[in-house]
Amino acid sequence: MARPRRVDEGELRMEMTPMIDCVFQLLIFFMICTEIAQSELEMLVLPRASEAVPDDPPERGRMVLNVTKDGRIRWRGQDLTRQGLHDRLALQARLRLQRETGLSDQAILIRSDSEAEYRNVQTILQECAKVRIWKIELAAATAAKPKGRE
């Protein structure tokens, strides 16, 4: 009777270095993606609204504008002057212009601090109207419902 062949332990050993490299690269990739996704959002205290609905799913390519407590308008971490705001909106509007209507299909999300003056939000709305952007959303935090109400 033939004896079963004995397998040397060296043959069963698996090289883990490439697997560990892949895991670390995936980890770095997801960390960077998360950072980029959050870079448009400033730390703001949003106004509360009883009828606010979740933003699911956010529109692809939507431009996020933040209005800080001190009235600065920020886009992707940069302060915008009124002219800078107009130029950015005009560029985005041209890129998404609908020829049949003459309106831009560009979506805008305005996130304003609850202590910011409304005139800063109004500035953004006026500039959107000038460049014919009509898809505008205002961010708000959901307000807690009073007890006893459903």
Mean pLDDT across the chain, nearest whole number?
83
d(CA 61, CA 78): 18
pTM above 0.85, yes or no: no
**Residue 57: DSSP 8-state:** S
**pLDDT of 150:** 46
Q: Which of 37, 29, 113 is nearest to 73 (CA)?
A: 113
Torsional sign, CA 103, 106, 107, 113: negative
Per-residue pLDDT tens over the stretch 20-59: 889 889 888 888 776 665 556 677 777 788 877 877 788 8
Segment 65-77 shows an average pLDDT of: 91
Give percent of the chain with pLDDT exceeding 90: 43
**pLDDT of 55:** 77
Give residue 149's pLDDT band: very low, low, confident or very high (50, 70, 90): very low
d(CA 42, CA 54): 18
Residue 86 has phi, psi (to 5 degrees) of -60, -45
